[in-house]
Every structure is written in C-alpha cells, then in structure tokens.
Homo-oligomer: A and B are copies of this chain.
Amino acid sequence: MRSLGEMMHEQCKTLFPIYRSITGDGFRQSLAILGERWSELKIVEIPTGTKSFDWDVPKEYNIKDAYIIAPNGEKICDFEQSNLHVLGYATPVNKVVSLEELQAHLFSLPEQPNAIPYITSYYKERWGFCIKHEEREKLVEGNYRVVIDSELKDGHLTYGELIIKGRTDKEIFLSTYLCHPSMANNELSGPVVTSALADWILSLTEREYTYRIVFIPETIGSITYLSRNLEVMKKNIIAGFNITCIGDDRCYSYLPSRDGHTLSDRAVIHALTYIDPEFKRYTWLDRGSDERQYCAPGVDLPVATVMRSKYGEYPEYHTSLDDLNVVTASGLEGGFNAAKQAINIVENNVYLKVNVLGEPQLGKRGLYPNLSTKESGSTVRAMMNLISYCDGSKTLLDIAELIGEPFYKLENILKPLVEHGLISSSRHPII
C-alpha cells in the first residue's frame, strides 16, 4: 500500500502540468481535481471588477499557447514544454521582432542560468517570455516571431471553500493558495497537504470545532475572501494556519501571526519543537504570503504559517527548478504531520483541574505503570508534573509548555486520569 506521502506526491504529479494563474481555467481544473472527493466543497466565482477592500477583482486570464520562432525556424520558449516560459498575465501578441526588441521582453536569471524564472505582471499589461539564461545567451541577431495566444477579459476569480461542521460554531481556519503554474514546493505542496488535512478532519468521529478550509489565489484571493466573510471569520475563528511550501525535506519553518502569541503561534511552535528542535523561526517582518491579509490591522485573525522550506529561502524558489524532485513523499508527509499536530493541539486544548487536594494516591487506582523501566519512570514523572499543574487555570498546552513534554504524550497520560475521575477537563477555566 502506498504511504500518505506517496499518495500526496502522486497528486502533485497530476496537478503539476496544469497552467494555473490567479484566475482562469487552470485554477478551476486544479480545484476540481482536488475537490472531487468532497461533496461539501463549494466553488465560488466572483466577477471581474468586484470591489474587494482596497482592490478590484482583476480580469480573468486564459492562455492556449505561446512560443517564439527563432531566425533558424526553431521553436523556443514553448509553453507546451513549460508553462513558466510565458510571463504571467502576458497580453496576446503575434508579430515579428528584432532580437533587440525581443530582449526587452525576456526574463532570465544570470545566477541560475539553467532555470526558467517565474515572473508575473498582474497589474501592468505587457507581453513577455521567461527563458533559461544559458539559452538566452545563445540567441543570434535576426527576426523572431513571438506568439502569445492569451485572453484577458471580464470573467471571474474562482475559489473553493470547504466547511466541516464541529460541535461548536467556533472555527479553525486553513488557507492555501492554488495560483502558481508548474512549481512544486511553492505551490502544489500547499493545496495537496491541505486536502489531506481535510480528509483527516472529515475522518474524525468527534470534532469540537468547525473547520473552514479555503483554496484561493494568493493575495487577491485572500483579500476577496476576507472582504466577503470578514464578520463571521472575526467572530468565530479561534486559530488558523496558512499552508504553503510544505513539501520538501530540508527543514521545518514557522512564520508568526502579526500578534505573534496567538494560540495558532503556540500550536505551531509546540508541534515543531518536538518534530525538529532546529526548526526555523521567522518573524512577522519575513512575511510574504496570505498572512499579510489575515493579520492586517482591522482583520487581525490568529493565523500562523507552518512550512518546510520557506518561500524565498530555498534556491529553487520561483523557478522551473522547484519541481517534483524538490518535493518528496517524505517531505509532504512530514509537512502534513506538522500541520496535523498543530491543528490537533488547538482541537484538544482543554483546561484541566485535578479533583483532589494534595497529590492523589495513584497506587490504589492502579495508575502507576506495572513495569518499572526507564521509559515508565519518565512517564510517571510526566504524569506527576502534569497533575501538579492541573489547577483549573491552565490548558493542556500551557502545561505541556511548562513541563517541557510534548502535547501528544500528555494526551495519552491524561486519558486514564480523566477516566478515573481524578482530573476534570473543560473548554473554559475551571474555578
């Protein structure tokens, strides 16, 4: 049987060739592939020009083909070969230009000569191609036919919204974006891991919280989504996570909410501490994704970001080198696991109170481990430390932080103590 990581990697492979942008059919097609397993997924189409806070929904972009015919008749910068070759939101063109004029429309990376860069021009209309620098240097004088068969017209911005009901209206929010063409860590890892998280959440027999999961285009998508849902989101969301760049195998990363001390921040930090104590901690000043909108003044949602290698921080970022070798099955599975643990902490973070004064007599309840091993000694110690802080004012996460034990270990230790009536739990402080 394939592992979850392998299945996620397989799904990345399926989605990889599709040409996605912040609007258009590639986005819709990708969303359909991800969403076919959930009847609950709502696909929302927002018309071009719709006012969204300080922005307007842009025109819808679609493209059929793009290429250049070199003086020798060779087809280069072929969209069929790599959809990164065309400048994002490039306007249509079909004409013959000199090398000199062409150069003004080419983008390449001298320091990464074998990489096609990923460049967009959403808010200024122009045409252009992205090319490996080593190829660009071989271009000779002569006439080049440039063809971009694209269309920029009034249409829609598309997003997907999956609401999974829990016991209460209070929500845990997951956001991922689906607007980049063929790149793997930034971006396919995000929607694929988020989809796996949705499957896991749907599989839970009990859910305290309602889950709001969105698949959107970055920036304009989160702005548009917020502008239509801000009130209910501000009222209900108790924690949220931005899921992006979560599929390679090199490190774990955390980027805080603007506040920096929300439950979401603490959950990510706690989860990563026990997965990889060397995880990278960025600051709000290093932000660059949808947390910019979710944590903007007046929006102020408690959204933290959990990643593997952060956008902008790995060499393949925003180039054709960010491919299915960068993202691995184990990288995806590790990322999934980190996000799952952070979510699980929020879902199960209850206030705890011990029901006896003084230390309880555990022996008479058979709550000491039978076998005395090094392992059991550590468990007893953790149990006594846990109990010693169950004063009704602290949550399981508070206590995990105080006693330096992983949340999941304390969850296991807590279970029999609650079953024996020694400890009470509640979603609110117990006075």
Contact = CB atoms under 8 A, between A and B. Distances in A.
A21 interface: no
Contacts of A223: 358-359
A353 to B, nearest CB: 7
Interface stretch (A28-36, A149-157, A296-304, A310-318): A296-304
Interface string A217-250: 0010011001100100000000000000000000
Contacts of A226: 357-358
Copies of this chain in the oligomer? 3
Given A297-B389, A388-B292, A285 B403 contact: yes
B404 A358 contact: no
A292 B363 contact: no
Given A53-B356, A357-B53, A385-B285, A297 B391 contact: yes
Q: Which of A296, A300, A358 has the most CB of B within 10 A?
A: A358
Contacts of A258: 388-389
Contact of A53 (B284, B295, B296, B358): B358
Contacts of A391: 297-298, 300
Contacts of A299: 357-358
A360 B55 CA distance: 8
Contacts of A356: 53-54
A31 B258 CA distance: 52
Q: Which of A292, A296, A353, A391 has the most CB of B within 10 A?
A: A296
Given A297-B354, A391-B300, A359 B292 contact: yes
Interface residues of A, number: 42
Interface string A89-125: 0000000000000000000000000000000000110
A361 interface: yes
A361 B230 contact: no
B358 A388 contact: no
B358 A296 contact: yes
Contact of A55 (B52, B298, B361): B361
Contacts of A361: 54-55
B357 A296 contact: yes
Contacts of A389: 258, 297
Contact of A359 (B227, B296, B354, B363): B296
Nearest to A362: B54
A354 to B, nearest CB: 5
B360 A54 contact: yes
Interface of A: 52-55, 123-124, 219, 222-223, 226-227, 230, 258, 284-285, 287, 292-293, 295-300, 353-354, 356-361, 363-364, 385, 388-392, 403-404
8 contacts: A53-B357, A54-B358, A55-B358, A223-B358, A284-B388, A295-B388, A296-B357, A297-B392
